[in-house]
Amino acid sequence: MTNKTEPIYSLIASNPDYSDLVKEFVSEFPSYAETLRRCVTERNLVLLKRTIHQLKGACGAYGFPSLTESAGNVEEKLRAGHTFESVQASLSEFLDLLTRATAEKQQPG
């Protein structure tokens, strides 16, 4: 079982060819989180669907399979026509994972 406060690391961040790209992607997570929260507040279903779909693909490409899976759960519910309220738990789970994601493991110092 995964610890709910444990950082989530990119599987490709240790690759020197990708580490800077992963860091740049992760630096955008607060902005994505704000967009998703605003979608719910404003009940903007179109932007919510588009953003979660983009994140599902991008998180996979940048080595975050748990985020991809979680975003996929949200996307499936949205496609099935669930209400904002019924999607809220899945979206909250995704946002939690997004805030825990980091580009690389910190070296012990």
Examine residue 1 and state whether it is found in any structural domain, yes or no.
Answer: no
- What's the structural domain count of the chain? 1
Examine residue 32 and state whether it is found in any structural domain, yes or no.
Answer: yes
Examine residue 42 and state whether it is found in any structural domain, yes or no.
Answer: yes
Examine residue 92 and state whether it is found in any structural domain, yes or no.
Answer: yes
Statement: residue 86 has pLDDT above 80:
yes
Examine residue 20 and state whether it is found in any structural domain, yes or no.
Answer: yes
Domain carrying residue 45: 16-102
DSSP state of 63: T
Tens-digit pLDDT profile for residues 90-103: 999 999 999 999 98
What CATH code is carried by the domain that includes residue 81?
A: 1.20.120.160
Q: What is this structure's pTM?
A: 0.89
Distance (Å, rounded) from C-alpha 107 to C-alpha 21? 19
Of the pLDDT bands very low, low, confident and very high (cuts 50, 70, 90), residue 3 is low
Distance (Å, rounded) from C-alpha 7 to C-alpha 30? 15
Examine residue 36 and state whether it is found in any structural domain, yes or no.
Answer: yes
